[in-house]
């Protein structure tokens, strides 16, 4: 989902953070004709990571950017979700991702190793012309009139037209945008732990062989904890993700960073069934990050000048390992770049930055609420609510449409069917083209489904 438009006025963007959102926006902006430098504090690609679920709204973007063949090399199609009891292993229900439903969304629900997507987006960005600078820790961001700048810990300073903060939930760029209004995250009491088990270790055990060979995303539900897992890397690996209480997830000393490596023997497994314990012990360590809770939304995604902008988890912190956080970051990237592919004059910059937040904010708030609610659903403590959930699962007909499940998962179709470029183009048709005499008769508007001629004053 990359716009085919090339901006008449081309800017220089400095992107702080080389994660999925940072590389994604770098690629899309380069495709729109802009110059991009990305500054990533880590020394190289290949840092520890786990698995990633790619819902249809995200897979459509990756497919458009990389092509279906390249995407197929690193992904596994998700056909359904079995629901298990974490303590007993009982299979309580099954949610099928029906082909007819997925076809309506226009995309596939995929499973992948986080590192594989990261490397793919890095390659796309560099091939499109972005300059990626690793080992570049940003020490400060300075607003400028009109050009802001960043200074690295090593002392080098870079100046550009726009700085994009794609540096995650603990964003240092957000401190510049919000100033005293920037609120720190509070401990939620939970941690996310991720690992990938080599597929060959699972051979020889009938149940584990079945898991690695399947096209499914099983979820195990326990007392204040949950586990989800799925095959990755053409089924050569099996990604595991735990949501565990902090006190059972290793030593107390840790950061809210993705690179906190915890030996497996330090993770409490008493509440897990034997087959799950066997699976967990197949990896020597997990990568842990503490779940920090931030305000539901921040008032501003850019500074007063409109030249320092937040993207992805810098603008809307997610909970670690959530299914939809990466998708929201790539949607941000696609929308932002689509707007700036139309740039003709400098005086449009402020309107485009404001439009970006206007288009994206309500959606990310709604999707995050749903993602957090779904995560809570699968780690309920014992009690009537959990009993009701289990009964709904046992009697479900393979669809999320009964009782509690209907309420928890309603709106999935609208979520998956989202088209980022359509959202940007809709804003342009309704508002942007009327600013400063932009609505020219016979202008061709690309909705991603062919062109529609819009006459002036329509």
Query: Which letter, b or e, does each residue of 345-374 get, where b requires 16 or more Cβ atoms within 10 Å of its Cβ?
Result: eeebbebbbebbbebbbebbeebbebbbeb
The domain segmentation of the chain, as residue ranges, is 12-184+295-418, 423-454
pLDDT value for 82: 93
pTM of the predicted protein model: 0.90
Superfamily (CATH) of domain 12-184+295-418: FAD/NAD(P)-binding domain (3.50.50.60)
Assign 3-class secondary structure to the chain: CCCCCCCCCCCEEEEECCCHHHHHHHHHHHHCCCEEEEEECCCCCCCCCCEEEECHHHHHHHHHHHCHHHHHHHEEECCEEEEEECCCCCEEEEEECCHHHHHHHCCCCEEEEHHHHHHHHHHHHHHHCCEEEECCCEEEEECCCCCCEEEECCCCEEECCEEEECCCCCCHHHHHHHHHHCCCCEEEEEEEEEEEEEHHHHCCCHHHHHHHHCCECCEEEECCEEEEEEEECCCCEEEEEEEEEHHHCCCCCCCCCCCEEEEHHHCCCCCCCHHHHHHHCCCCEEEEEEEEECCCCCCCCECCCCCEEECHHHCCCCCCCCCCHHHHHHHHHHHHHHHHCCCCCHHHHHHHHHHHHHHHHHHHHHHHHHHHHHHHHCCCCCCHHHHHHHHHHHHCCCCCCCHHHHHHHCCHHHHHCCCHHHHHHHHHHHCHHHHHHCCCCCEEEECCCCEEEECCCC
Q: pLDDT tens string for the chain (458 positions)?
A: 556 789 999 999 999 999 999 999 999 999 999 999 999 999 999 887 889 999 999 999 999 999 999 999 999 999 999 999 999 988 998 888 878 777 878 899 999 999 999 999 999 999 999 999 999 999 999 998 789 999 999 999 999 999 999 999 989 999 999 998 888 888 899 999 999 999 999 998 998 999 999 999 999 999 999 999 999 998 999 999 999 999 998 887 655 555 788 999 999 999 999 999 999 999 999 999 889 999 989 999 999 999 999 999 999 999 998 999 999 999 999 999 999 999 999 999 999 999 999 999 999 999 999 899 989 999 999 999 999 988 888 876 555 444 544 444 455 667 898 999 899 999 888 877 666 555 554 443 332 323 232 233 33
pLDDT value for 451: 29
pLDDT value for 434: 61
| Residue linked to tokens 């939930």 | 169
pLDDT value for 406: 47
């Amino acid at each position: 989902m990359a716009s085919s438009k090339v901006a008449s006025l081309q800017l220089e963007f400095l992107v702080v953070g080389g994660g999925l959102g940072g590389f994604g926006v770098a690629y899309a902006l380069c495709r729109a004709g802009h110059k991009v430098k990305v500054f990533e504090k880590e020394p190289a690609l290949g840092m520890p990571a786990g698995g990633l679920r790619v819902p249809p709204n995200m897979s459509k973007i990756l497919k458009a950017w990389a092509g279906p063949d390249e995407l197929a090399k690193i992904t596994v199609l998700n056909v359904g979700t079995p629901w298990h009891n974490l303590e007993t292993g009982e299979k309580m229900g099954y949610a099928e991702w029906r082909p007819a439903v997925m076809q309506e969304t226009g995309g596939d629900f995929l499973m992948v190793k986080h590192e594989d997507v990261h490397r793919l987006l890095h390659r796309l960005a560099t091939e499109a012309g972005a300059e990626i600078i690793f080992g570049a820790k940003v020490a400060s961001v300075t607003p400028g009139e009109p050009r802001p700048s960043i200074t690295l810990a090593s002392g080098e300073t870079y100046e550009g037209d726009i700085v994009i903060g794609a540096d995650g939930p603990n964003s240092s760029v957000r401190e510049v945008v919000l100033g005293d209004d920037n609120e720190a995250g509070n401990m939620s009491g939970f941690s996310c732990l991720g690992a990938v088990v080599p597929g060959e270790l699972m051979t020889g055990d009938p149940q584990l062989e079945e898991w690695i060979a399947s096209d499914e995303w099983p979820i195990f539900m326990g007392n204040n904890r949950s586990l989800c897992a799925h095959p990755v890397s053409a089924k050569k690996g099996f990604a595991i993700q735990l949501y565990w209480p902090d006190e059972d997830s290793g030593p107390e000393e840790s950061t809210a960073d993705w690179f906190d490596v915890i030996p497996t023997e330090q993770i409490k497994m008493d509440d897990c069934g034997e087959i799950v314990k066997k699976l967990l012990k197949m990896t020597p360590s997990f990568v842990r990050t503490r779940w920090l809770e931030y305000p539901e939304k921040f008032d501003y995604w850019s500074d007063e000048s409109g030249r320092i902008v937040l993207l992805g988890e810098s603008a809307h912190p997610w909970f670690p390992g959530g299914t939809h956080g990466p998708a929201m970051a790539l949607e941000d990237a696609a929308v932002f770049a689509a707007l700036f592919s139309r740039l003709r004059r400098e005086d449009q910059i402020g309107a485009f930055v404001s439009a970006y937040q206007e288009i994206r904010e309500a959606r990310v708030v709604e999707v995050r609420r749903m993602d957090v609610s779904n995560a809570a659903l699968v780690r309920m403590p014992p009690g009537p609510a959990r009993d009701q959930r289990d009964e709904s699962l046992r009697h479900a007909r393979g669809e999320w449409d009964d009782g509690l499940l209907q309420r928890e998962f309603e709106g999935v179709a609208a979520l998956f069917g989202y088209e980022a470029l359509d959202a940007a183009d809709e804003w342009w048709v309704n508002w942007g083209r009327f600013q400063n005499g932009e609505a020219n008769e016979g202008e061709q508007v690309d909705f991603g489904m062919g062109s529609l001629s819009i006459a002036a004053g329509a």
